Structure 1
Amino acid sequence: MVTSFNEQIGHYGAWRREFALRLKLLAAWMKEHGLMDSGVEARLQRLEDQMRSDKVMVAFVAEFSRGKSELINALFFASYGRRIMPASAGRTTMCPTELGFDAGVPPSLRLLPIESRLHPQSLAEWRQASDQWTHVPLDVDDAEQLALALEKVTDVRRVTQDEARALGFWHDEVPDDNPPMDADGRVEVPRWRHALVNIEHPLLAQGLVILDTPGLNAIGAEPELTVNLIPQAHAVVFLLAADTGVTKSDLSVWREHLSHGADEVNARLVVLNKIDTLWDTLSTPEQVKLQIVQQRVASADILGVPAQQVMAVSAQKGLVAKITFDAELLQASGLPALEAALGDGILAQRHEILRAVVARGVTDLRNETGRVLQVRRRDLAEQKMELQGLGGKNSAVIKNMRSRIEQEKQEFDMGNAKIHAVRSVQHKLLGEMFGLLGSRNLKAEMGLLAAAMRQRGLKLGVKTVYGETFTRLRANMTKAQAHGAEIHSMLDATFRQLNAEFGFSLQLPPIPDIPRYHAELDEIEASHLQYLGLRNALKLAQPEFAERLVRALATRLRAVNDSAFGEVELWSKSAAAQLEDQLKERRKSFVRRIDGIDRIQEAAGGLDERVAEIEAQEAVLGQFDTRLQLLTSYFLTTAAPTLPPAA
């Protein structure tokens, strides 16, 4: 049985591949016909890469035994005819598990030992150290082998109290949160810190990434999970159990890790799982439905979300229904409604975001290339007028014409000195912008924060240091924005002057949207204040936890700075390439004009022949323009594909 969400993922992947292929063909055509400068090439390559590599991450978050893994099985892996993720009684995911597909990596389960927590490296850094992970080969065509291998994410080990404390699973100050101790004085902790599953599953191959998280104790001990992975998920599915409602630990997970930064209603979905526990044979169907509605309303009220944002499902019955092709049971499980919510929410939203990005980029490219074609047309028209004006003229007039063109060329070359001076100032300001957004500056800021975090005992002043850090980071963004405005103003004046003096059609690209990164910094700061309050004071007192928190924060901030850096770099390259392209076209025009005069002097029939050549070139440019409009119109007129209705 094909589900609505599966169909939508398939449509989404096909749509991305189609757009990426057309962008590649557009780039090849432009390169073949000399219409590609470095700025246009960089923009097209960036758009193509974005279309091919775009991922949609869905994170499943809950306390233990709420049915996360079973819901993942029901939503994504029912076609195997059995459970793939461990979800039977007593088998629960003990470490964060990411499921995705990378064609460059063999099908495998990679497991990072829990002992890696004893080292300062962030999870992002550990991802680059492949030899530190345990690799388990996977056979995607063998459901039994796949399921057996994935059971390793449930592995635990017993350690001493001191080891548990060092690993972040034992806190003397909050004994109620500590795991139980056995007769030998040992406690149970996860064997693995993180798991990466790479399989060519149809949905994962389309760009879906699934994040299965462990319970509150494990989440709280791994700041990188809540600092980086969960906030960057396109949708977060938070599970509750219908037979218990919102428990104290459920509320802790929600308040500490999920209630921040959820600006859009579709970013957080609450799933009231195990509604089959309410299917009481002594109650009428209407009474059962009323109970479920009451549970949804009560849960929504406690969590502070709209009631329609709470979906009631039975993951177990939904999985059974898909495997047995029981349409009636599937509808009763509530799974189709959840799939529709996921599809209509995250996928429709990603469609629109990507389509808008491509449309904006292609519109800029079309306008820029159109200006290049217009410059070439104008140069050809001027050449043709010059040559037609020479009809019947003697050699002295033709010689004077050649001298005048050479004089124009000399004046143009002299004007280039001004351009070089402007470029020098531009590069200086760009260097300062890149310095403000570069890794060295961020590393220094994180060093100051890390020093404050390393202090022993309760860190009562760390909130102030944290706030000051973000104040300086925002100040750097403000300075970068000011430099960008200065560069933009200087280039705008230069472009206007060149357009007036030489008839160029230069148009400066819009200044990078630096304020957008201000907003991202605000969001990151607000979402991490939770770690600096009294609730986490005891955790922060542990140097190892504080160090991991800073490293996780640095990873996310680096992504913001890198994105801003890349946008500034692309903007600068686009402006420089546009100027260089029109300068190059003008130099070629001088060469063609002088060559045309020389050919006329050498041969009596050269004038008519040269005019005919120019007219042929004009016709080719007209064909280029038509072809450009045709190749780009697809991106501007083709909307995101209509998603199939809910199953």
Structure 2
Amino acid sequence: MNAESQLFNQRFEQYGLWRAGFAQALDVFSAWLDSKGLRNAATMERLARLHEQAANDRITVAFVAEYSRGKSEMINALFFSSYGRRIMPARAGRTTMCPTELIWEPEFPPGVRLLPIETRKLGASLADWKLKPAAWHAVALDARSGDSVAQALQRVTETIQVDQAEAARLGFWRDDAGAENPPLNAAGQMEVPRWRHAIINFPHPLLKKGLVILDTPGLNAIGAEPELTISLLPQAQAVLFILAADTGVTRSDRHIWQEHLARHVDTQGLRLVVLNKIDTLWDGLTSKEEQAAQLRSQRQSVARMLSVPLNHVLAVSAQKALVAKIHKDETLLKASAIRQLETVLIDTLLGQRHLILQRALMRGLGEIRTEASQVLNVRLRDLTEQIQELGSLKGKNNSARRSIRMRIARERKEFDGCVSKILGLRAAQNKLLNEAFQLLSGKTIKQELAALMQALQGKFLSVGFQKRFLQTFSRLQEVLETAQDVADQMHRVLAESYHSLNMEYGFALQPPGAVDLRQFAPDLDRIAQSNRHYFSMTNALRLSSAEFSERLVNAIAMRLRAVFEAACNELDLWSKASTAQLDVQLKERRLSFISRSETIERIEQADLDLSDRLQQLQRELAELQEVASALNARSEQLEVALQAAMRGVDVHLGQVPVSQ
């Protein structure tokens, strides 16, 4: 079966196997490095990070739509047809009511975890609540039974009745929303979701390989949960915006797109518009050609209205696709056009993600190879010098040998004098590192956003408040720039110290390249530009709600913490890698002094033959050279495996057909 015709499920399985295979190969490589004494603290951390990336890489596919667009049925058709029945609730009147994540976390048993809707009034973010398992209502399921899974998932459809005031506190009623608010019944109450968020922990093969499915319900639920649009959706590798062919782009559809999807300039993954329910056009009174023409016209209209490329708009029938897959009806499956959507997900989503991960793994592997080579080069240099030193003793008397032994002792004493200098360097580096960490800490973010929150509480927005919001991000950019200045100072101190140690004590330290924290500045700018509309006058009434404004600021804080934590991790790893070679060379030089001293003493005492020792050192040199060759060969094998895995994978959305 060629790549174009394989199912998304099959290709994702292959992607998972590739990641698992590389993680296993990396473990073998790590054990080999350890057996040769080539692992230091920085190398071990790099290996651990690479293993984590390869073994636990996740791909999130988010489904966004207004109610009754067939979103849950789309999930069933794409991922769960093998169960021979619906898994996600998709019957009329029984739809997903709260944002739902389908994931596999082996530390939890299979089941559904439900966060009560009342937690919205407490201000904490979803990320915070995920750290409090006791706050969630747990429902067990039997993963071997499709009926058990489907029954447990029905819990996400549950609703409760609340009055208008409570609905406003929960974020489901806004005085300025008009007809978009839920309808009131005769008792003055309205129906709202019982749960704020659901996590379905399910050992499905795709989920176990790293797929995460995010199912988001209609406009009210999306708008009331800032964390969805500020964090979860922008960071999804693929977002499928579902429309209905029989309704086209409605007012609420357009609102979701403009307010919660199109505004997010920080999205870098695949974004598709899927026109669902094309089977509503199969009325038996129009020819297939007329139906195709109508679909083309609808796709063109949707592309114009949403300002997206035409080849980003696909038309399918999820319901017919599910039926066709269950009954193995190839004719119906082809008519459903689901295969084209699967092809896009395969070639674009998986291809892009594969390429991103491959590059990250290649970069990390190269750094590990460089660090291990530095260790070997130090050993080869010391061993070569020792061979030359002993070779100069051939034909010499005991006086010459004593002279060399005394010279070694003198060199060792002088070398020991570098310890105080190294301790001073470490103290200076740790001081600067802690200074940078303090700048990039959560405390800095908390202080900046606390002022923002204080301006929101108890008052309507002023005309200049959006400017105030952007000023907050300008100050955070200044914090990042200050941290870069500290990092540059660390780099200068290291470079100067390494030059001095090389000149005075015979080290062979390589000055590290500078660390780049400015690479995170565009992330801050994207977060600011994507969310500035929340702080405009048009959103004043919603922001007057303390509960909503607190959820909004908490969601932004979570994104900011992720950026600053990434910057801290980058600086921390750079610092460890930069100083690791000093630890290695310090250890290797001390071992070399001990070996040289013992060798000369034994030769003086006639306990060791000079020729025999030289032959032994030559053998050790040859073995080290073999290890160096093996390091290159093993590294190249891993690199070739990474590169070969990408051959023939098309990662360009421009290759997606534009006709149905």
TM bin, normalised by shorter chain, reads over 0.9
The question of whether the paired residues in 2 share the 8 Å contact of 1:7 and 1:644 is answered with no
Cα displacement (A) at 1:482: 1.4
Letter in structure 2 aligned against 1:403: M
Cα deviations across residues 202-260 of structure 1 (Å, max 9, x unaligned)? Answer: 11011000000010011001111111111110111001111111111111000001113
Question: How is 1:26-41 mapped onto 2 (pairs within 5 angstroms)?
Answer: 26-41=29-44
- Tell me the equivalent position of 1:164: 167
Matched, 1:17 2:26: no
Which structure 2 residues correspond to residues 142-181 of structure 1 after superposition, within 5 A?
142-181=145-184
Q: What pairs with 1:254-273 in structure 2 (closer than 5 Å)?
A: 254-262=257-265, 267-273=270-276
Deviations 1:262-313 (CA, angstroms, capped at 9, x unpaired): 5778521110111111123111111100000000010001100110110111
Equivalent residue for 1:483, pick from 480, 483, 486? 486
**Does the CA-based 8 Å contact 2:240-2:274 persist in structure 1?**
yes
Letter in 1 for 2:309: P
Q: CA deviation at 1:175?
A: 2.9
The amino acid across from 1:517 in the alignment is F
Q: 1:197 aligns with which of 185, 197, 200?
A: 200
Structure 2 residue aligned with 1:325, among 323, 328, 340? 328
Q: Which amino acid aligns with 2:524?
A: L
Residues 1:75 and 2:78 are matched in the alignment: yes
**Which of 299, 304, 308 pairs up with 1:305?**
308
The residue type paired with residue 88 of structure 2 is M
| 2:563 matches 1:565 | no
After superposing the two structures, state which structure 1 stretch, 630-639 or 504-513, moved more: 504-513
Given the alignment of the two structures, is residue 363 of structure 1 paired with residue 379 of structure 2, yes or no? no
Mapped to 2, the partners of 1:393 and 1:99 lie a distance apart of 78
Q: What letter corresponds to residue 583 of structure 1 in structure 2? A: L
Q: How many Å separate the matches in 2 of 1:51 and 1:608?
A: 50
* Range 81-90 or range 602-611, more displaced: 602-611
Match of 1:588 among 588, 591, 609: 591
Tell me which moved more, 408-417 or 102-111.
408-417
Displacement of 1:605 in angstroms is 4.2
Q: 2:410 aligns with which of 387, 404, 407?
A: 407
**CA distance 1:10–1:508, change in 2 (3 Å):** farther
Q: Distance in 1 between matches of 2:345 and 2:648?
A: 12
The residue number in structure 2 matching 1:428 is 431
Distance in 2 of aligned mates of 1:25 and 1:426: 34
* Cα distance in structure 1, aligned partners of 2:402 and 2:325: 86
Deviations 1:41-70 (A, max 9, x none): 111111111111110000000111111100
For residues 240-255 of structure 1, the aligned pairs below 5 Å read 240-255=243-258
Deviation at 1:374, TM superposition (A): 1.3
Shift of 1:505: 3.7
Q: How does 1:435-450 map to 2 (within 5 A)?
A: 435-450=438-453
3-state secondary structure, aligned to 2:94: coil
Deviation at 1:488, TM superposition (A): 1.4
Measure, in 2, the Cα distance between the counterparts of 1:133 and 1:72. 24
Name the % identity. Answer: 48
Cα offsets for 1:65-108 (capped at 9, x unmatched): 11110000000000001110000111111100000111111001
| Structure 1 pair 442–400 and aligned structure 2 pair: CA distance change class (3 A) | same
TM-superposed deviation, 1:618: 1.1
Aligned to 1:621: 624
Q: 1:507 and 1:335 mapped to 2: Cα distance? A: 56
Residues 52-63 of structure 1: matches in 2 within 5 Å?
52-63=55-66
State the match for 1:396 in structure 2: 399
> Conserved in 2, the CA contact under 8 Å of 1:358 and 1:635?
no
The count of residues paired between Structure 1 and Structure 2 equals 647
The alpha carbon displacement at 1:513 in A equals 2.9
Residues 1:47 and 2:50 aligned together: yes
Q: In structure 2, do the counterparts of structure 1 residues 278 and 643 end up closer, same or farther at CA, with 3 Å as the change threshold?
A: farther
Match of 2:635 among 623, 632, 637: 632
2:299 matched residue in structure 1:
296
Cα distance, 1:644 vs. partner?
8.1
- Describe the shift of the 1:312–1:509 C-alpha distance in structure 2 as closer, same or farther (beyond 3 A): farther
CA distance in 2, matches of 1:617, 1:233: 53
Name the CA distance, whole Å, in 2 between partners of 1:644 and 1:171.
48
| 2:383 is aligned with 1:380 | yes
Match of 1:344 in 2: 347
For 2:92, which of 86, 89, 94 is the aligned residue? 89
SS of 2:67's equivalent?
A: coil
Q: Distance in 1 between matches of 2:250 and 2:286?
A: 25
- RMSD across aligned positions (CA): 1.9
2:269, 2:290 → 1: CA distance?
A: 29
SS at match of 1:352: helix
- Deviates most, 58-67 or 493-502: 493-502
Classify 1:366/1:149 alpha carbon distance in 2 versus 1 (closer, same or farther; 3 Å): same
Q: Which moved more, 1:298-307 or 1:446-455?
A: 446-455
Contact 1:55 1:207 in 2 (8 A): yes
- Once residues 320 and 505 of structure 2 are traced to their aligned partners in structure 1, the CA distance between those partners, rounded to angstroms, is 74
Residue identity in the other structure for 2:290:
Q
TM-score by length of 1: 0.97
C-alpha separation in 1, matches of 2:133 and 2:646: 39
Structure 2 stretches lacking a partner, 5+ long: 651-655
Given that 1:8 and 1:643 are in contact with CA atoms closer than 8 Å, whether structure 2 keeps it comes out as no
Q: What is the deviation of 1:535?
A: 3.0
1:574 alignment counterpart: 577
Report Cα offsets for 1:362-414 as digits up to 9, x if no partner: 11211221121111111111111111211222211111111111111122222
Q: CA deviation at 1:499?
A: 3.9
What is the deviation of 1:5?
A: 0.8
Looking at structure 1, the residues matched to 434 and 397 of structure 2 have their Cα atoms a distance apart, in angstroms, of 56
Within 1, Cα distance between the matches of 2:266 and 2:165?
Answer: 41
Equivalent residue number for residue 227 of structure 1 = 230
Q: Give yes or no for the alignment of 1:474 onto 2:477.
A: yes
The yes-or-no answer on 1:137 pairing with 2:140 is: yes
Compute the displacement of 1:583 (Å): 1.5
Q: Which amino acid aligns with 1:556?
A: R
The TM-score with structure 2 as length reference comes to: 0.95
| Cα distance in 2, alignment partners of residues 251 and 38 from structure 1 | 53
Q: For residue 516 of structure 1, what is the aligned residue in structure 2?
A: 519
Q: Using the alignment, how far apart are the partners of 2:414 and 2:304 within structure 1? A: 75
- Give 1:586 deviation, angstroms: 1.0
Matches of 2:302 and 2:60 in 1, distance apart?
25
Letter in 1 for 2:396: K
Give me the whole-angstrom Cα distance separating, in 1, the residues matched to 2:149 and 2:403.
83
**SS of residue paired to 2:112:** strand
Long gaps (5+) in structure 1 = none
Q: 1:119 aligns with which of 111, 119, 122?
A: 122
What residue identity is the alignment partner of 2:314? M
Tell me the residue number matched to 1:551.
554
Amino acid at match of 1:573: K
What letter corresponds to residue 558 of structure 1 in structure 2?
R
| Distance apart, 1:124 and its partner CA | 0.7
Kept after mapping to 2: 8 A contact 1:239/1:271: yes
Q: Deviations over 1:175-224 (max 9, x none)?
A: 32211111111110000000000111011011000000010011001111
Question: Does the CA-based 8 Å contact 2:453-2:553 persist in structure 1?
Answer: yes
Return closer, same or farther for 1:468/1:119 CA change in 2, 3 Å cut-off: same
Q: Comparing 345-354 with 605-614, which one deviates more in the overlay?
A: 605-614
Residue number in structure 1 paired with 2:653? none
